[in-house]
């Protein structure tokens, strides 16, 4: 039974509450904090995109195709489909000589409602570039195109089917995930993610260790360690690319820069690296719909472990205790840490 980590308050009463688990460990797996069951396999979904982006840099594809910080950051993103996100994904594909049709992530309207309505106003519909995973997939396509060039194969033909578990590209991505987390993926539960690539059940303890390694390079191969530095620098330079206007990850990393790398995943998962502390963080909210709760837990973790001064505190204050306003702008409640998180403070 996982503890209640976050309460949702209305009129002073607890209206709803979210249970979950949290692991904070170092790159050797030594525990800083665990709450709840951190050994149950959890599908990390998009929270591990940065680990899945390691081959983009480690293979030399990012350098070969001359990708910018913005483009490398987008490979780690669950973006909101804003115009700059879609354009950046298109530019990545163009660098590799391909177009939108190479993407196998599927199509959905931009998560950003203003961007969706802007498309509608222009009498346009969404394409695969607007899929929140288009940057990650464009990165996969770049990895595949370099593989094709090195093997003397036709790139468009070679990359086709890259979302399948047995494709050379996806084998490389899964190998990077396994190396970082230390989890044997061959024996892990496997599902299909929203964007059609495999997702593996990995315990929070090992996800957190993967992100401790991502934050320091410690425990990784030299090429992967170098890749983590490049990815962290790129994201710190272009945090808008990782999420979008007003989003938690963008807001936090715009302020903290390389001091915090954090990334949301679907179904209530959150991961982070705290390089100044040598720690990695992994969170899962049981109910999977508690993105609001996972954010509050992550904000509380950052406050406890990475907050340095009043400027940091000012950024975190409304992320740890989130005011809830209704359609008339009246403050009607809050999302706030519960007793179960007290161990952090």
Binding site for a copy of itself (CB under 8 A): 1, 8, 10-13, 15-19, 41-43, 104-109, 113, 116-121, 123, 131, 189-196, 199, 201, 267-268, 285-293, 326-330, 332-333
Minimum distance, C-beta of residue 165 to a copy of itself, in the bound complex (Å)? 11
Minimum distance, C-beta of residue 89 to a copy of itself, in the bound complex (Å)? 15
- Residue closer to a copy of itself by CB (options 161, 257) is 161
Bridge partners, residue 35, by sequence: 22
Picking from 3, 6, 1, 74, the residue whose alpha carbon sits closest to that of residue 299 is: 6
Long-range pairs for 172-176: beta carbons < 8 A, 24 or more residues apart: 172/55, 172/59, 172/143, 172/147, 173/52, 173/55, 173/140, 173/143, 173/197, 174/198, 174/200, 175/55, 176/51, 176/52, 176/54, 176/55, 176/58, 176/224
CA 71 to chain centre: 15
Minimum distance, C-beta of residue 109 to a copy of itself, in the bound complex (Å)? 7
- Residue closer to a copy of itself by CB (options 324, 344) is 324
Contact call for residues 337 and 300 (beta carbons, < 8 A)? yes
Minimum distance, C-beta of residue 205 to a copy of itself, in the bound complex (Å)? 17
Please tell me the chain's helix, strand, coil percentages from 3-state DSSP, rounded to the nearest 5. 50, 20, 30
Minimum distance, C-beta of residue 138 to a copy of itself, in the bound complex (Å)? 15
- Residue closer to a copy of itself by CB (options 207, 279) is 207
Residue 125 sits at φ, ψ, to 5 deg, of -115, 175
- Residue closer to a copy of itself by CB (options 168, 194) is 194
- Residue closer to a copy of itself by CB (options 111, 158) is 111
CB atoms within 10 A of CB 157: 9
3-state secondary structure (DSSP) of residue 262 = strand
- Residue closer to a copy of itself by CB (options 191, 342) is 191
Minimum distance, C-beta of residue 91 to a copy of itself, in the bound complex (Å)? 22
């Amino acid at each position: 039974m996982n503890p209640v980590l976050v309460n949702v308050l209305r009129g002073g009463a607890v209206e709803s509450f979210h249970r979950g688990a949290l692991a904070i460990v170092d790159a050797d797996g030594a525990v800083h904090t665990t709450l709840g069951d951190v050994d149950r396999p959890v599908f990390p979904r998009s929270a591990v995109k940065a680990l899945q982006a390691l081959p983009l840099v480690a293979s030399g594809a990012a350098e070969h195709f001359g990708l910018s910080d913005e483009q490398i950051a987008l490979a780690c993103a669950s973006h909101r489909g804003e115009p700059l996100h879609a354009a950046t994904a298109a530019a990545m594909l163009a660098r590799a000589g391909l177009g939108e049709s190479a993407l196998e992530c599927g199509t959905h309207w931009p998560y950003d409602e203003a961007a969706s309505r802007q498309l509608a106003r222009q009498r346009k519909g969404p394409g695969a570039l607007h899929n929140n995973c288009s940057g990650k997939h464009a990165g996969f396509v770049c990895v595949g195109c370099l593989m094709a060039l090195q093997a003397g194969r036709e790139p468009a033909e070679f990359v086709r089917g890259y979302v399948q578990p047995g494709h050379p590209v996806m084998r490389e991505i899964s190998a990077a995930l396994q190396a970082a987390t230390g989890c044997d993926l061959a024996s892990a539960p496997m599902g299909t993610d929203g964007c059609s690539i495999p997702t593996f059940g990995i315990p929070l303890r090992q996800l957190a260790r993967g992100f401790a390694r991502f934050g320091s390079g410690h425990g990784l191969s030299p090429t992967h360690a170098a890749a983590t530095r490049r990815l962290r620098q790129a994201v710190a330079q272009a945090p808008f690319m990782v999420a979008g206007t007003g989003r938690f990850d963008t807001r936090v990393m715009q302020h903290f820069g390389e001091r915090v790398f954090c990334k949301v995943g679907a179904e209530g998962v959150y991961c982070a690296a705290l390089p100044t502390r040598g720690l990695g963080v992994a969170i899962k909210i049981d109910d999977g719909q508690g993105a609001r709760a996972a954010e509050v837990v992550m904000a509380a973790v950052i406050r406890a472990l990475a907050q340095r001064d009043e400027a940091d505190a000012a950024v975190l204050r409304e992320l740890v205790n989130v005011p809830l306003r209704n359609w008339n702008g009246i403050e009607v409640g809050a999302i706030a840490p519960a007793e179960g998180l007290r161990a952090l403070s």
